[in-house]
Amino acid sequence: MTGLRGKVAIVGAADTELGSVPHMSATQLCVDAALRAMADAGIEKKDIDGLITCNSMAQPYMYHAEAIAEYMQIFPRYCMSAGAGGGTTFSVLHHAASAIATGMADTILISMADSLRSGLSRDQAMAMQSSSGHAQFETPYGATVPAYYGLIAQAHMAQYGTRPEHFAEIAVACRHHASLNPGAQMREPITVDDVLNSRMIADPLHLLDCSLVSDGGAAIIMTRAERAGDFPHQPVYLLGAGEGYGHEHISQAHSLTTSAAVDSGRRAYEMAGLGPADMDFAQLYDCFTPTVLIELEDLGFCAKGEGGDFVQSGAIKLGGSIPVNTHGGLLSHCHPGNPGSMFALTEAVTQLRHGAGARQVAAAEVALLHAQGGIMSSHSSLILGRDRQ
Amino acid sequence: MNIDHSAKFIPRPTAETQHYWDGCAEGELRFQLCLSCGHRQLYPRLICTQCMGRELGWQAASGSGEIVSFSIVRRAVSSAYAPELPYVVALIKLTEGPTLMSNVVDCDVASVVVGQAVELLFESWTEDISVPKFRPVD
């Protein structure tokens, strides 16, 4: 079953200013990302007939994509606001691809941004994030989002002997990549000891095991593969896509240590006709360090339970067998909430165009991208490549 | 310690969970029992999660369970929870089978371990709402 394989290409991609951007509202960041991606693709708004956004926490609209279309004076034939949660950031790519493959749209702009750092107080941000828990059976107990992920980390430690030093390696690798990326928010290299000595947030997770809180946005332009050669840059083709769902609330998870990334990855690999060994780099959702460790296992880069040894081996750093989060990830590059994975996407495009400079993965041809939402609840995996075949 | 629960996230019962929360107010932790296949479950639902049956009864938990996993919150979710810092959020598997989230209280947080045996207690938060918590069994 080939489905969507090779049917669409990404022909424009761009990030906004990011990190601390108090002079731009979340809405402005979303529109700015769109304009930059359009410029990257060399197109005007008349060339766009589809729009996808996600709602903003700092500046929400009841119907977000519709509001952005109005702001930009675009009148699309395809318009969708993605549901909340990091995982849906990638699932929209196959929705967009299906729309293009079936003729419901031709050229779709996907733009997402938020202003979590400047647009929300710390208390507002905490309250919004903890509202993902079950109102009757989780939030009364005072859990924070780091605590939900702490449950996952603790279970992996108890079951497989994984240690905090293993999780810390992931933060170190992401920061190393960010140090090579002029656009990253945090660029000062860190060590495993730096991570372990940083303030404990929710055992076993320290401050440096947790992603950033940022302002920023990113956008891409997607169109039919047949016309991808008409644009200024090397096209990046969608080769595989898959979703997986195991639970919504962590207290209902069937397993704390194996996730539905197993399913989303398998589906994406099947569509692409490829496997983990074919990937040149991987952008893995890193809201907290343990998610990356589990994703490495569940997506087939190492055996279940061996994620700790794997991340200590050097495999996930540039030069290793599977560099992870070449831009620095949510941990060190930027995390504005729901749009976070968009930066993994624009980075993957930059890498596959061979435009990543000091952090370029040598001869990058194919990449796996993974996003998750909720608490390791909803999963989307994508495979992108330079070659349509 | 006399804790003010009034500003916490107080559970609001719905039609399908009212019986659960009534039980808590009476000092009883109730889970659902499927009358068709015998499956035991939480949270309460319209259907059995194992066989999709719609005939469900209730059973009172013995109160004993074990810690499936836990995390120690060092930064409170809101100021209402700050007086109890550091506090333990845990997943507890009841002896009868169902798993629920709760807090592990009345202990040194450093002593909490996965697999630890715990027993049920209730905290009275309002006139109508008591919340299940667990403490380590010696």
Are A52 and A198 found together in one domain?
no
B41: closest chain A residue by CA: A252
Collect all residues of chain A within an 8 Å Cβ-Cβ radius of residue B131: 140-141
Q: For residue B111, what is the DSSP state? A: G
Which among A158, A91, A45, A47 is positioned nearest to B115, based on CA atoms? Answer: A158
Average pLDDT, chain B: 97
**Rg for chain A, CA atoms, rounded:** 19
Are A219 and A243 found together in one domain?
no
pLDDT over 70 (residue B1) = no
**Which tokens belong to B91?**
């997943």
pLDDT in tens, A132-151: 899 999 999 999 999 999 99
Contact assignment for A142 to B8 by CB distance below 8 Å = yes
> What's the total number of domains in chain B?
1
> What's the total number of domains in chain A?
2
pLDDT in tens, A93-133: 999 999 999 999 999 999 999 999 999 988 888 777 778 89
pLDDT in tens, B93-126: 999 999 999 999 999 999 999 999 999 999 999 9
Average pLDDT over residues A207-215: 96
pLDDT classification of A83: cutoffs 50, 70, 90: confident
**Which tokens belong to B20?**
């659960």
Residue from the list B12, B68, B74 with its beta carbon closest to the beta carbon of A202: B74
pLDDT classification of A1: cutoffs 50, 70, 90: very low
A124: closest chain B residue by CA: B78
A125: closest chain B residue by CA: B77
Are A46 and A70 found together in one domain?
yes
Contact assignment for A155 to B43 by CB distance below 8 Å = no
Domain with A102 in it? 8-120+214-230
Instruction: With a threshold of 0.85, tell me whether the complex ipTM lies above it.
Output: yes
Collect all residues of chain A within an 8 Å Cβ-Cβ radius of residue B100: 137, 251
Contact assignment for A202 to B76 by CB distance below 8 Å = no
Average pLDDT over residues B1-11: 92
**Residue A209 CB contacts under 8 Å (≥ 6 apart), including other chains:** A167, A168, A171, A195, A198, A201, A288, A289, A290
Q: What is the separation of C-alpha B37 from the centre of its chain, rounded to a whole number of angstroms?
A: 24
Domain with B53 in it? 18-136
pLDDT in tens, A246-294: 999 999 999 999 999 999 999 999 999 999 999 999 999 999 999 999 9
Hey, of B20, B66, B71, B72, which one would you mutate to test binding to chain A, going by the most A CBs within 10 A of its CB? B71
Are A175 and A83 found together in one domain?
no
* A209 contacts chain B (CB < 8 A): no
Q: What is the separation of C-alpha B26 from the centre of its chain, rounded to a whole number of angstroms?
A: 14
Q: Closest Cα of chain B to A335: distance in Å?
A: 20
Answer yes or no: is A2 within a domain: no
Q: Closest Cα of chain B to A193: distance in Å?
A: 20
Note the pTM of the prediction, 2 decimals. Answer: 0.97
Amino acid B120: pLDDT: 98
Are A279 and A335 found together in one domain?
yes
Residue type, B80: A
**Residue A236 CB contacts under 8 Å (≥ 6 apart), including other chains:** A9, A10, A13, A348, A349, A352, A353, A384, A385, A386
Collect all residues of chain A within an 8 Å Cβ-Cβ radius of residue B103: 141-142
Q: For residue B108, what is the DSSP state? A: -
pLDDT in tens, B7-49: 999 999 999 999 999 999 999 999 999 999 999 999 999 999 9
